[in-house]
Structure 1
Amino acid sequence: MSASVASLALGLGGMLVSLGLLIWLAYRGWTVLLLAPLCAMLAASISGEPVLAHWTQTFMLSTGRFLAQFFPLFLLGSLFGKLMEDSGSVDAVARLMIDKLGNRRALVAVVLGGALVTYGGVSLFVAFFVLAPMAQALFRSANIPRRLMPAAIMLGTSTFTMSALPGTPALQNAIPMPFFGTTPFAAPGLGVIASVVMAGFGLWWLGRAAAAAKRNGEGFVEPAAAAGDADAVPDDGRSPLVRERASVAQTFDPAEIGDTPRESGPADGPPALIALIPLVVVIVTNFVMNVVVFPQLDASYLEEPQWGPTSLSAVAGVWGVSVALALGIVVLVALNRGRLPDLRGSVDAGANASVLPVLSVGSLVGYGAVIAALPAFEVVREWVLGIGGGPLVSLAVATNLLSGLTGSASGGLTIALDALGDTYMQLAAQQGIDPALLHRVAVMSAGTLDSLPHNGAVVTLLAVCGSTHRESYGDLVVVSIVGALIALAVVIVLGSLFGSF
């Protein structure tokens, strides 16, 4: 074996060892803030690369770029979600769906309630903690097995509203924008089709499972953790294990849930119409900024050295979501000032809740940058680009694998685009592929295998619902992974045949 081949084999081995160690220790609750740089330096050391140079010049610079690009979205998204929670607005929106649809359509009510609040910009974890007790009460009344609760909540909050619906303010939908020069509304027609596939398939499966349970005489059973309190839902968001796993999954630190509880009960929250207005403001403002305002804006000044240099296409998406969330926060506070008795406490908690997630995901991005800089990564790059089916298929496979391995849609997506984004843009230009199609395929690919058992959102949701992997994970896989993969395949086929639309 030649020295170069041996060196490449050693480098590949180092990458696999470091990745395996990262996954194993992260699953056991060790913080990614420490694991990511340690495992990255381990891979660099085994590959014979300069360790300290990779730490400061590769890992930290890549982490810093991620923070510079996306911290505004973490900060504003977390703040918006916390204010929606503390004002009682999330409760009001969820109760509206439940009241309108009732026990006969309990599954649909939970799914649509989750979809409405998350598409409007509310953090995933805020939605979990608000929806779980309402879903439990609804499932109890309808005598639907409690084990289906996590799948119903996950379908509404973490599938089509995260990766497919055009304009969603989810972080995952924002990450490809600087790489591809796209907006949150990339490939809107394909996004709507994918959303219908995900929602339709998931609701079909849940309805089928509920009907089968009814035939078998299975009904709602109180969680053992909540015995003696029929309305209690285990709140495990402060568990260090759950918190560390959850911090790489979304823009909100679940430890901040309930830090500034409202003095009034749910019945004293805002009317449903008032609660909906901030969500509508976020959605409409995002659309207007990206479709109306920015196309008419003269931003040639961005080409000057003091601004990067950069271009409007590289920053417009993040700008649009940031303005939408900021305006939503202003409207939310104006409409609910009396329902926020400790406004500063809510603001502090919301801002604090953004720090751990952004640093955790940034650390994963830094880890990916070090791995991509190693000589042996060229072998991985060639393998990924050599996957049959063209750039769309190889992009989907690469993003799926990285999101699954890291247990983070945002982390896996950023690592994939950091390493291969420029290459895919070149291939798209050569083959006439619309970057908007790359955007939608990449985002949807990140929202599939990320829901493996070690994913922070999965762990948190099961804890909040008082359920276990054994009880609920099978149905959760079908609605969040199988349905998402089917929708992704539909988008790739339609995009290959008809292009982006």
Structure 2
Amino acid sequence: MGLLGILAGLSLLVWLAYRGWSVLLLAPAAALIAAAFSGEPLLAHWTQTFMGSAGRFVAQFFPLFLLGALFGKLMEDSGSVNAIADYMTEKLGAERAVLAVVLAGAIVTYGGVSLFVAYFVLAPMATALFRRADIPRRLMPAAIIVGSSTFTMSALPGTPAIPNTIPMPFFGTTPFAAPGLGIIASAIMLGIGLWWLGRAEARARLAGEGFGDERPPTADTAVDDPLIRERAVTAREFDPAELHRSSEAQDRPGIVVAAAPLVVVVIVNLLMSFAVLPNIDASFLAEPRWGGTTLSAVAGVWAVATALAAAIATLLAVNGRRIPSLRATMDAGANAAVLPIFSVASLVGFGAVVAAMPAFDAVRDWVLGIGGGPLVSLAVATNVLAALTGSASGGLTIALEALGPTFMAIAAAQSIDPGLLHRIAVIGAGTLDILPHNGAVITLLAVCGCTHRESYMDIVVVGIGGSLAALVAVVLIGGMVGSF
């Protein structure tokens, strides 16, 4: 009965979430269903297990959600994201339209700009370039996915994307975990994405297929659609409803000024991870007043938070005067972080209740019994949970909350570098989360004016296929030679 309850709760969560019901309501209801089937105390699991786990997630990661959303909104309203897009358009031109869109997406997201902010800038850029180059509109979403939602989210060393920060408290790692393997995985994702898009463009030209019909802009419709919003906030760390709460600058900065905050994110993140934090005396963290923790458990979050804060300060110093209403922009950025983190935290709370059920031992045994060893087990667990929740962050946290200590114990016994676990977990969470119901996919298709029928198969190849190939490569190489 206990296992049936877990499946019933999960089915309810998945079924209603993809029909636009709020995860804030669904997650505790699904958790209580799982507890009821096991004969466990309902109120205790809601207030102690569910809320305790959700609260810990908020306490750990709200600074990153807040600073990331704020930075993305400031970059948008200062005109910086559009300036970078314009620069890539000018330098690469319509003859390399696909490459321009991919690189623009990679630059802004690796620099810390929230994904949905990037979507609403990259879609108009892609529309203009693809129309001039007469490339089918249907390829726009896949091009944006390659640059913004694959290697810069899960593989490129140091990326400040939320999924790359989640394993750090569990494994005591930094954002630069397994950098060599991350670079290999990034090259595979980028290579497969560009190869497929180039092939698709060539085939379209041979068939005489051009850009296609003109369609009215859909960005405003997507922002105001409550169904898209409910799905989007569990998928990424920015509430799209806040995108139009403030005004963008009329004039755009030069490329140096626009890109400076992105460079600061990377440099400060690197310095904090390898030069500053390893050399400070953090023994005070062991005291009860600081939660009895260790530096390794918080260093990764501290590094990314400091990098984003430094980037925000840099942007305000060099470009803040362009923002029409700084208060409105700051308010919108801060508000954009609230619903996403509580939505993901609710998924985490549901996972904690499930993990506390006696029947979960059977699930744990099944995961650990998967052939291929712990690296394969971890990859499968993060893939499955990200697919079911439609959220890389939610699926990854649920997997690590339930199985993280077990994998760390196995790693210690088998001399596996925690950095390797980190990289496999993040790449695994960023593969099957890009299913048709994923909020980011739905939002991107709406912004591009495309449908699942037109564009989804290309998204599958570049988003899921490329990431799975990179995951397999990392598991095989890491299993043979370890982390590097």
TM-score (norm: length of structure 1): 0.96
3-state SS in 2 of match to 1:450: coil
Q: For residues 214-273 of structure 1, give each alpha carbon's deviation from its aligned partner in whole angstroms, at most 9, with x where no partner exists.
A: 11111101354x1xxxx7756412210000000011110011112111251xxx111011
Provide the residue aligned with 2:197 in structure 1: 206
Distance of 2:441 and 2:258 partners within structure 1: 27
Distance 1:461 1:308, change over 3 A: same
Matched-pair contact (CA < 8 Å) for 1:133–1:232: no
Matched, 1:262 2:248: yes
| 1:173 and 2:164 are equivalent in the alignment | yes
Instruction: Please say if residues 234 and 463 of structure 1, whose CA atoms lie closer than 8 Å, have aligned partners that are also in contact.
Output: no
1:141-160 deviations in Å (ceiling 9; x for gaps): 00000000000001100000
Residues 246 and 253 in structure 1, CA contact (< 8 A), matched pair in contact too: yes
Partner residue of 1:443 out of 402, 426, 432: 426
Amino acid at match of 2:169: P
Show the counterpart of 1:102: 93
Q: Distance in 2 between matches of 1:149 and 1:241?
A: 22
Report the AA paired with residue 183 of structure 1: T
- Structure 1 residues 424, 41: closer, same or farther in 2, change over 3 A? same
Distance 1:220 1:263 in 2: 30
Q: Partner residue of 2:392?
A: 409
Deviations 1:296-327 (A, max 9, x none): 11111111111110000000000000000001
Corresponding residue for residue 120 of structure 2: 129
Match of 1:474 in 2: 457
Match of 1:249 in 2: 235
In the TM superposition, what are the counterparts of 1:315-326 in structure 2 within 5 Å? 315-326=298-309
In the alignment, what sits opposite 1:162? 153
Is 1:271 aligned to residue 257 of structure 2?
A: no
Moved over 6 A (4+): none
Residues 434 and 499 in structure 1, CA contact (< 8 A), matched pair in contact too: yes
Any unmatched runs of 5+ in structure 1?
1-9
Residue 309 of structure 2 aligns with an amino acid whose one-letter code is: A
Partner residue in 1 for 2:333: 350
Contact 1:194–1:488 (8 Å) recurs in 2: yes
AA aligned opposite 1:342: S
**Equivalence for 2:209:** 218
CA distance in 2 between counterparts of 1:272 and 1:144 reads 27
Aligned with residue 237 of structure 1, among 223, 232, 235: 223
Q: Distance in 2 between matches of 1:98 and 1:182?
A: 37
Equivalent in the alignment of 1:295: 278
Please tell me whether the aligned partners of residues 133 and 233 of structure 1 are also in contact (alpha carbons under 8 angstroms): no
Q: Report matched runs for 1:481-496 at 5 Å.
A: 481-496=464-479
Contact 1:223/1:467 (8 A) holds in 2: no
1:55 aligned to 46, 53, 64, which one? 46
RMSD (Å) for aligned C-alpha atoms: 0.9
Q: Is the 8 A contact 1:369 1:415 kept in 2?
A: yes
Map of 2:365 onto structure 1: 382
Q: Is the 8 A contact 1:11 1:374 kept in 2?
A: yes
Counterpart selection for 1:197 from 171, 185, 188: 188
Listed one character per residue, the Cα deviations across residues 111-154 of structure 1 (whole Å, up to 9, x for unaligned) are 00000000000000000001100100000000000000000001
For 2:244 and 2:343, the matched residues in 1 are separated by: 22
Distance 1:262 1:217 in 2: 39
SS of match in other structure, 2:224: coil
What is the TM-score normalised by the length of structure 2? 0.99
Query: How far apart in 2 are the matches of 1:328 and 1:304?
Result: 31
Q: Which deviates more, 18-27 or 67-76?
A: 18-27
Provide the rounded CA distance (Å) in 1 between the counterparts of 2:223 and 2:457.
Answer: 23
Moved more, 283-292 or 93-102: 93-102
Q: Deviations for 1:157-204, whole angstroms, at most 9, x for unmatched residues?
A: 000000000000000000000000000000000000000000000100
* Whole-angstrom CA distance in 1 between matches of 2:142 and 2:327: 35
What SS is found at the alignment partner of 1:248? helix
Report the Cα distance in structure 1 between the residues aligned to 2:226 and 2:309, rounded to whole angstroms.
31
Tell me the distance in 2 between the aligned counterparts of 1:237 and 1:478: 27
One-letter code aligned to 1:120: G
Q: Give the secondary-structure state (helix, strand or coil) at the position aligned to 1:112.
A: helix
Contact 1:223 1:466 in 2 (8 A): no
